[in-house]
Structures are given as structure tokens and as C-alpha cells.
């Protein structure tokens, strides 16, 4: 059932955090919204600006700037903090700085008594969602990353534009890392419930310009192009997080890609990666497991292997730091 009264905290009021707060406000997706940032005056200013916008709506949300103690009775805490992006770096290159930020924040949130659901946006999102799970001690189904949701949206729009159809007619998801090793399971892509492979076969002239190998590369790289041009991606990813929030507070039981813990699916475990999952008021209800062909499964496992190596290096580094203290 949906949450009768919902409280949500956003930590990190940069481009993404502010865009998410705006999504939640205009969508009336919670009753109480707490904005938290290391720059307290910034959080206060954003909260005041959002409150003023309520004068032109029937929304009666309570919006205010707060601190980690305000997470105590929150249903959802969203991590939208970010390490500075350096041109030419990949998301994984941001890991060391982002790890330190998350390592500082999560224990303070948990000390407040928080027992809700974490949504992690911070990149590299798969590794950091794994880290939040480990640091928080919360069950894996209550720690969710945005994963490959935005990549999947980009893929659907690309295919829809190419074919001249509405993106809502396209079913397509990217799997694995939210990063350069992600893959597209083309055997699962459909348009109007028709398999994409059959569409290619039936329309060789109309779709002769599509190179599926180049599509995967373009989808994984487009974020870097956006960041170089405008400094950040914020509208797309905040829409993803808002959709996850809506699924939780309204017990949506929707299927969407998310960074979630694998527990034997595809023969893998103890790794967070982007796969389709059912999201409810309790977090992740179940995963949707695709029947991948041999080549796709190998690609997916290659991405998982990369994420596992990153997790092992990250946790080893943290353990070493603790041993030296």
C-alpha cells in the first residue's frame, strides 16, 4: 500500500539535487521534503525558493533545509552528492573522491536512526550503491541505485527517433554498469511488441543506417558530451530518481532498470548492477531476469566482472584505512 504520510531527504543540493527537489515539488510526491547540503545557506535558499513556488499550486508540502538528524524518520534518503567531474575521466575515475564523500555521509545518516530506503544517484553509482549498502547495514532491497535507467531512456529515445514512433512504444533496457561497460540485450528489445531483430529483417532499407554496435557506444558516451557542453546532466537523472520515489511512496510495483544487488541471478551475487526490477513501498520486490543469448550473457558478465573488481578494490582500500587508524 502507498505511504499515507511520506518524508524525503535529499543530500546534496547541486544541479541534480535541485532538479529532483523541483520534480518532487511539482509532482506533489511527498508530504515533507528536507534539503541537506554542506553549504547550509545553499540548502536554505533552495528550500525558500521551492516554498515560494507553492503559492501557485494546491500543494501543501512542507519544505525546509535541515541536517542529518532530520533523516531519523525519513522514508527515503536520496544521495545526490557528486565528486567534481574532470574532462576526459570516466565515471569510475571519480570513485576515490566520491567514496570519501559517501563514507562521511552515510554513518551520520544512520546515527540519526534512519531505517528507510536509500536511493543513490552519486557516480559511479553501482560501486557507491554497494558501498552504501555495506556502510548502512540496511538490507540490500532497501538500498537502490539509479543504475542504467537513464541509459535505457536514452536508448528508447534513440530507437524511437530512428523509427519515427513514440518512445513509449519502445521496450528496451541497458544492463550492467552505468558506464562504459554497459550492454544492450538486443534480443529483448521490442517496438510495438515486435522483436527488434524481426523489424531489422523486415525493413532492411528503412533501417540500413543502424549499426547496433555503434548504438551501444553512443548511448554510453552521450553523457560525457552533455557534461562537456553544459557542465552536468541533471534533468534526465532527476526524472529517473523522481520516478523511483513515486514507485516507493505510491507502492507502484513498476518495473524499471535500477542498480540492485544480484543474488544468484545470471549465476552472480554480491554485486550491484543495472537490471530491471520491481519497485514497491518496501524497496526492491524482485528482479526481472532476461533469457540472454550466449553473446549477450558474456557481455553482461564482463560488465559484472569489472564492477566486482572495482568493489573489491574499494573495500580493500577502506579496510586498509581503518586498520591504519
Whether residue 23 lies in the annotated active site: no
**Active-site residue (options: 22, 178, 213, 291):** 178
> Any known ligand binding at 250?
no
Paired with 65 in beta bridges are: 35
Q: Any binding-site annotation on 148?
A: no
CA-CA distance, 32 to 28, in Å (whole number)?
10
Which of 127, 15, 153 is CA-nearest to residue 82?
15
- Give the neighbor-by-neighbor strand order of the sheet with 254-263: 62-65, 32-36, 7-11, 76-79, 117-120, 143-145, 254-263, 269-280, 283-287
Query: How far apart (Å, rounded) are the C-alpha atoms in residues 302 and 15?
Result: 32
The verdict on whether residue 124 carries a ligand-binding annotation is yes
323 carries a ligand binding annotation: no
Q: Dig out the grid coordinates for 45 from the structure.
A: 535558499
The alpha-carbon radius of gyration of the chain (Å, integer) is 20
Query: Is residue 121 marked as binding?
Result: yes
Residue 129 assigned as binding residue: no
Which grid cell sits at 8? 524525503
Residue 100 is labelled as binding a ligand: no
Q: How far apart are CA 286 and CA 288, in angstroms?
A: 7
74 is in an annotated binding site: no
H or E element: which one contains 228?
Answer: helix 212-230
Residue with cell 570519501: 100
Report the run of H or E that residue 21 belongs to, with start and end. helix 15-26
Residue 233 marked in a binding site: yes
**Does 190 belong to an annotated binding site?**
no
- Does 125 show up as a binding residue in the annotation? yes
- Measured CA to CA, the distance from residue 7 to residue 312 in angstroms comes to 34
Tally the residues of the chain.
Answer: 325
Strand pairing class (170-171; 190-191): antiparallel
Q: Known binder of ligand: residue 230?
A: no
75 is in an annotated binding site: no
The span from the CA of 186 to the CA of 172, in Å, is 8
* Annotated binding-site residue? 162: no
87 annotated ligand binder = no
Say if residue 154 carries a ligand binding annotation. Answer: yes
Instruction: Please state the φ and ψ torsions of residue 303, each to the nearest 5 degrees.
Output: -65, -40
Known catalytic residues are: 178
Annotated binding site: 16, 37, 42, 68, 91, 121-126, 146, 151-154, 233
Residues annotated in a binding site for substrate: 91, 123-126, 151-154, 233
Annotated binding site for NAD(+): 16, 37, 42, 68, 121-123, 146
Amino acid at each position: 500500500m502507498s505511504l499515507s504520510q511520506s518524508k524525503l531527504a535529499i543530500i546534496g543540493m547541486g544541479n541534480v539535487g535541485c532538479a529532483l527537489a523541483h520534480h518532487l515539488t511539482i509532482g506533489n510526491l511527498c508530504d515533507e521534503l528536507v534539503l541537506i547540503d554542506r553549504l547550509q545557506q545553499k540548502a536554505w535558499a533552495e528550500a525558500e525558493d521551492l516554498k515560494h513556488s507553492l503559492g501557485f499550486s494546491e500543494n501543501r508540502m512542507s519544505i525546509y533545509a535541515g541536517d542529518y538528524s532530520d533523516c531519523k524518520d525519513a522514508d527515503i534518503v536520496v544521495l545526490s552528492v557528486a565528486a567534481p567531474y574532470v574532462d576526459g575521466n570516466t565515471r569510475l575515475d571519480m570513485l576515490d573522491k566520491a567514496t570519501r564523500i559517501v563514507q562521511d555521509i552515510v554513518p551520520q545518516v544512520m546515527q540519526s536512526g534512519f531505517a528507510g530506503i536509500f536511493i543513490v544517484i552519486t557516480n559511479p553509482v553501482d560501486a557507491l550503491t554497494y558501498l552504501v549498502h555495506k556502510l548502512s547495514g540496511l538490507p540490500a532491497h532497501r538500498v537502490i541505485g539509479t543504475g542504467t535507467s537513464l541509459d535505457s531512456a536514452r536508448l528508447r529515445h534513440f530507437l524511437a527517433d530512428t523509427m519515427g514512433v513514440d518512445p513509449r512504444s519502445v521496450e528496451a533496457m541497458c544492463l550492467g554498469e552505468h558506464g562504459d561497460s554497459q550492454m544492450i540485450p538486443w534480443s529483448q528489445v521490442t517496438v510495438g511488441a515486435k522483436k527488434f531483430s524481426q523489424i531489422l529483417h523486415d525493413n532492411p532499407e528503412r533501417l540500413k543506417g543502424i549499426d547496433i554496435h555503434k548504438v551501444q557506444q553512443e548511448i554510453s558516451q552521450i553523457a560525457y558530451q552533455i557534461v562537456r557542453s553544459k557542465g552536468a546532466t541533471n534533468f534526465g537523472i532527476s526524472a529517473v530518481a523522481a520516478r523511483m520515489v513515486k514507485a516507493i511512496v505510491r507502492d507502484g510495483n513498476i518495473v524499471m532498470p535500477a542498480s540492485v544487488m544480484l543474488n544468484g541471478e545470471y549465476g552472480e551475487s554480491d554485486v550491484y548492477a543495472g537490471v530491471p526490477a520491481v519497485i514497491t513501498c518496501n524497496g526492491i520486490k524482485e528482479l526481472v531476469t532476461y533469457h540472454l543469448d550466449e553473446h549477450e550473457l558474456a557481455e553482461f558478465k564482463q560488465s559484472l566482472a569489472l564492477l566486482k573488481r572495482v568493489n573489491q578494490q574499494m573495500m580493500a582500500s577502506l579496510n586498509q584505512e581503518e586498520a591504519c587508524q
